Structure 1
C-alpha cells in the first residue's frame, strides 16, 4: 500500500511539473511542423537553436542559426522581429522551448517552438539541406 501511494505521488508530481512547464510557455508557444512551414514560407523568421555541427549536418534552407547557448548575447541581431512571429526549431523540440521562454522573457511575445524539431520537420517531408 505504501509503495502504491509513493508511486501515485510521483506520477502526480511529474504531471504537475509538465503542466506548469506548458502553462509557463503558453498554449500558442508550441506549433506543429505543418503550421511552422506555412509561416516560414510566408517569411517568418525561422530560428535554429542547435549547435553549428548539428546545423551543418542537416537544416531547413530558410533557417537562421543562433545556438541556444549564444541566444542571449545575440538577441540584438533579431531585435527587429520583436513584434513579429518567430518560429524556433532544434533537434527534437526541447531546446527550442527553452529558447522560446528566453525570447518571450526578452520581449518577443510571438516566439513559438516547433513540436518534434528537425526530426519532425524532415519526417514531414519539408525541405532540408544535408551535408
Structure 2
C-alpha cells in the first residue's frame, strides 16, 4: 500500500476522510470529503478512480483499511494512505476546517 506524509498531499488532491461525521465536524483537512468507513463500500462509487485517491482518518488505521479495500475489492492501485491522519495534519499546521 502506498502512503505519504501529510506534507506530501497535493493541495488539489482528491482527499477522502473516512472518520465518522462527528469527528469530521470537529476538524478536518481543508478540501477533504467525508465518506465514513461505515459507509465506504456503498459510497466508493463516488470516488474518481482516474485520479490519485488520498485517504485520511484520525491517525492512519481506518484509512489503511479503506485503501486496502480499494486495492483488493476495486482493483485500484492509486489509493494512498495519509500517514498520521488528521492528528498529523493538525500538528503540521496545514489548512483545515
Contact 1:82–1:108 at 8 Å: present in 2 too? yes
Aligned structure 1 segments of 4 or more residues deviating by more than 3 angstroms? none
Structure 2 residue 76 is the aligned partner of structure 1 residue 103: no
TM-score by length of 2: 0.93
Answer 1 or 2: which has greater helix percent.
1
- Structure index of larger Rg: 1
**Corresponding residue to 2:17 among 42, 48, 62:** 48
Stretches of structure 2 that go unaligned for 5 or more consecutive residues are: none
Contact 1:82–1:107 at 8 Å: present in 2 too? no
Structure 2 residue 90 is the aligned partner of structure 1 residue 122: yes
Pairwise CA distance, 1:107: 2.7
Pairwise CA distance, 1:83: 2.6
Q: What is the aligned-residue RMSD (CA, Å)?
A: 1.0
Question: What are the superposed Cα offsets for residues 89-124 of structure 1, whole Å, 9 maximum, x if unpaired?
Answer: 000000000000011121321111111000000000
Name the count of aligned residue pairs: 96
